[in-house]
Amino acid sequence: MASIAGSALSFARPVKATSANSLSFSPARKGNAFLRMQPVPMRLAVSCAAQKDTVDKVCEIVRKQLALSDGTEVSGASKFAELGADSLDTVEIVMGLEEEFGISVEESSAQTIATVEDAAELIDKLVNEAK
Protein backbone atom coordinates (compact mmCIF):
# COMPACT_ATOMS: atom_id res chain seq x y z
CA MET A 1 0.00 0.00 0.00
CA ALA A 2 1.29 3.46 -0.87
CA SER A 3 0.34 6.68 0.81
CA ILE A 4 1.06 10.26 -0.12
CA ALA A 5 1.23 13.01 2.49
CA GLY A 6 2.35 16.45 1.37
CA SER A 7 5.57 15.88 -0.52
CA ALA A 8 6.41 12.62 1.27
CA LEU A 9 5.71 9.25 -0.29
CA SER A 10 5.95 6.00 1.65
CA PHE A 11 5.49 2.38 0.64
CA ALA A 12 4.65 -0.72 2.64
CA ARG A 13 6.53 -2.87 0.11
CA PRO A 14 10.01 -2.37 -1.38
CA VAL A 15 10.19 0.20 -4.15
CA LYS A 16 12.42 0.08 -7.21
CA ALA A 17 13.42 3.23 -9.07
CA THR A 18 13.32 2.37 -12.77
CA SER A 19 14.29 5.82 -13.98
CA ALA A 20 14.52 9.38 -12.79
CA ASN A 21 10.88 9.94 -13.81
CA SER A 22 9.13 6.77 -12.63
CA LEU A 23 8.96 4.40 -9.70
CA SER A 24 7.44 0.94 -9.62
CA PHE A 25 6.29 -1.07 -6.66
CA SER A 26 4.55 -4.40 -6.06
CA PRO A 27 1.33 -4.11 -4.05
CA ALA A 28 -0.11 -6.98 -2.00
CA ARG A 29 -2.11 -8.13 -5.04
CA LYS A 30 -0.66 -9.77 -8.10
CA GLY A 31 0.67 -7.41 -10.76
CA ASN A 32 2.62 -4.20 -10.80
CA ALA A 33 1.52 -0.63 -10.26
CA PHE A 34 3.43 2.34 -11.58
CA LEU A 35 3.78 5.81 -10.26
CA ARG A 36 4.95 8.43 -12.73
CA MET A 37 6.68 11.45 -11.30
CA GLN A 38 6.58 14.58 -13.45
CA PRO A 39 9.18 17.31 -13.01
CA VAL A 40 7.65 20.41 -11.44
CA PRO A 41 8.52 23.78 -12.98
CA MET A 42 10.64 25.98 -10.76
CA ARG A 43 8.43 28.41 -8.89
CA LEU A 44 11.03 30.06 -6.77
CA ALA A 45 13.81 32.10 -8.28
CA VAL A 46 16.62 33.83 -6.45
CA SER A 47 16.73 37.49 -7.21
CA CYS A 48 19.67 39.76 -6.59
CA ALA A 49 18.95 43.28 -5.44
CA ALA A 50 22.43 44.34 -6.54
CA GLN A 51 23.30 45.12 -10.13
CA LYS A 52 24.96 42.29 -12.04
CA ASP A 53 28.02 44.37 -12.94
CA THR A 54 28.48 45.25 -9.25
CA VAL A 55 28.30 41.57 -8.27
CA ASP A 56 30.80 40.71 -11.03
CA LYS A 57 33.26 43.38 -9.84
CA VAL A 58 32.93 42.22 -6.24
CA CYS A 59 33.57 38.61 -7.34
CA GLU A 60 36.70 39.77 -9.20
CA ILE A 61 37.99 41.72 -6.18
CA VAL A 62 37.30 38.82 -3.80
CA ARG A 63 39.05 36.37 -6.16
CA LYS A 64 42.08 38.69 -6.40
CA GLN A 65 42.21 39.52 -2.68
CA LEU A 66 42.02 35.88 -1.62
CA ALA A 67 44.31 34.70 -4.46
CA LEU A 68 41.73 32.12 -5.54
CA SER A 69 42.43 29.81 -8.45
CA ASP A 70 40.41 30.15 -11.65
CA GLY A 71 38.64 26.89 -10.81
CA THR A 72 37.17 28.26 -7.59
CA GLU A 73 33.53 29.23 -8.01
CA VAL A 74 32.74 32.74 -6.78
CA SER A 75 29.15 33.97 -7.13
CA GLY A 76 26.73 36.29 -5.37
CA ALA A 77 25.90 33.55 -2.86
CA SER A 78 29.56 32.87 -2.02
CA LYS A 79 30.35 33.39 1.64
CA PHE A 80 33.73 34.94 2.41
CA ALA A 81 34.37 32.43 5.21
CA GLU A 82 33.65 29.48 2.89
CA LEU A 83 36.18 30.91 0.43
CA GLY A 84 38.80 30.84 3.19
CA ALA A 85 38.68 34.49 4.27
CA ASP A 86 39.47 35.35 7.86
CA SER A 87 38.61 38.68 9.53
CA LEU A 88 41.77 40.37 8.18
CA ASP A 89 40.97 39.18 4.65
CA THR A 90 37.46 40.58 5.00
CA VAL A 91 38.85 43.97 6.07
CA GLU A 92 41.18 43.94 3.05
CA ILE A 93 38.28 43.00 0.75
CA VAL A 94 36.24 45.92 2.09
CA MET A 95 39.22 48.27 1.57
CA GLY A 96 39.54 47.01 -2.01
CA LEU A 97 35.85 47.61 -2.59
CA GLU A 98 36.08 51.12 -1.16
CA GLU A 99 38.96 51.91 -3.49
CA GLU A 100 37.32 50.37 -6.57
CA PHE A 101 33.93 52.03 -6.11
CA GLY A 102 35.07 55.31 -4.50
CA ILE A 103 32.97 54.77 -1.38
CA SER A 104 33.50 54.66 2.36
CA VAL A 105 32.04 51.74 4.30
CA GLU A 106 31.36 52.30 8.00
CA GLU A 107 32.63 49.63 10.37
CA SER A 108 29.10 48.72 11.49
CA SER A 109 28.08 48.14 7.86
CA ALA A 110 31.27 46.23 7.08
CA GLN A 111 30.55 43.78 9.90
CA THR A 112 27.24 42.78 8.28
CA ILE A 113 28.93 41.67 5.04
CA ALA A 114 29.12 37.88 4.86
CA THR A 115 28.59 37.18 1.15
CA VAL A 116 29.46 38.70 -2.21
CA GLU A 117 25.79 39.65 -2.59
CA ASP A 118 25.81 41.45 0.78
CA ALA A 119 28.81 43.48 -0.36
CA ALA A 120 27.31 44.26 -3.77
CA GLU A 121 23.99 45.40 -2.26
CA LEU A 122 25.80 47.66 0.21
CA ILE A 123 27.96 49.11 -2.58
CA ASP A 124 24.94 49.86 -4.79
CA LYS A 125 23.22 51.53 -1.83
CA LEU A 126 26.26 53.68 -0.96
CA VAL A 127 26.89 54.62 -4.61
CA ASN A 128 23.24 55.68 -5.05
CA GLU A 129 23.33 57.71 -1.82
CA ALA A 130 26.45 59.51 -3.03
CA LYS A 131 24.73 60.70 -6.21
Q: What DSSP string runs through 68-130?
A: --TTS---TT-BTGGGT--HHHHHHHHHHHHHHHT----HHHHTT--BHHHHHHHHHHHHHHH
Q: Catalytic one among 53, 56, 86, 89?
A: 86
Active site residue 86: yes
The catalytic site residues sit at 86
